[in-house]
Amino acid sequence: MMYPRRPLTALGIAMATVLALSACSDNQEEAPPASAAATPHAKVTPAPTAATSAASATSLKVTSVDLGKAVDPGQKISEPATTFSTQDVIYASVSTAGSAPDAVLTAKWTYKDGQLVNQTSQAIAPDEDAVTSFHISKPDGWPTGSYKVEILLNGQSVATKEFSVQ
């Protein structure tokens, strides 16, 4: 008479359970989800942790946001403007003071009553005062009206600038 192989099957199930439980161990860190950049030149990074945000926010702050039609090699606005034509590339130049080993600046561009036009983030790690620029363009032309760009540092809103397209 043949006996069923229950001990072997039970052993297999027990080993599979142990492996599954060890994969759920608290000792492993989860990898952050991958994200895509809104523009090909912006580097997007995962949102910083609360500890990172708090540490970065205390030593780094946004000191000014300027708008314009062009930036110089140092990322500062070289052609200031707050009124743009429908075909302009629109730049925001964000000046920061202080240092941070890792921080994330975000530019959130909106139209009229808050309709999202674009949102781009850049990871920065300044060790002194620095300037970071963002830009948006629309080859087929911007609708006329009022717009604004909101700048966030580690997810916290720190500045807003309004502009118009005519």
Domain of 105, CATH number, reads 2.70.50.60
Surface-to-core class of residue 90, CB atoms within 10 Å of its CB (0-12 exposed, 13-18 middle, 19+ buried): buried
The answer to whether position 107 is within a domain reads: yes
pLDDT at residue 8, rounded to an integer: 43
- Cβ neighbour number for residue 112 with a 10 Å cutoff: 11
Surface-to-core class of residue 148, CB atoms within 10 Å of its CB (0-12 exposed, 13-18 middle, 19+ buried): middle
Residue 84 sits in which domain range? 50-165
pTM, rounded to two decimals: 0.66
Distance CA 154, CA 122 (A): 10
pLDDT at residue 13, rounded to an integer: 41
The answer to whether position 34 is within a domain reads: no
Surface-to-core class of residue 154, CB atoms within 10 Å of its CB (0-12 exposed, 13-18 middle, 19+ buried): buried
pLDDT at residue 129, rounded to an integer: 95
**Cross-strand pairs, 60:** 98
pLDDT at residue 9, rounded to an integer: 44
Domain count, the chain: 1
Burial annotation 96-109 (CB, 10 A radius, 16+ → b, else e):
bebebeebbbbbbb
pLDDT at residue 11, rounded to an integer: 39
- Cβ neighbour number for residue 68 with a 10 Å cutoff: 22
pLDDT at residue 57, rounded to an integer: 47
Distance CA 72, CA 151 (A): 20
pLDDT at residue 54, rounded to an integer: 45
The answer to whether position 17 is within a domain reads: no
The parts of the chain modelled with pLDDT lower than 70 are 1-58
The answer to whether position 19 is within a domain reads: no
Distance CA 49, CA 126 (A): 18
The answer to whether position 78 is within a domain reads: yes
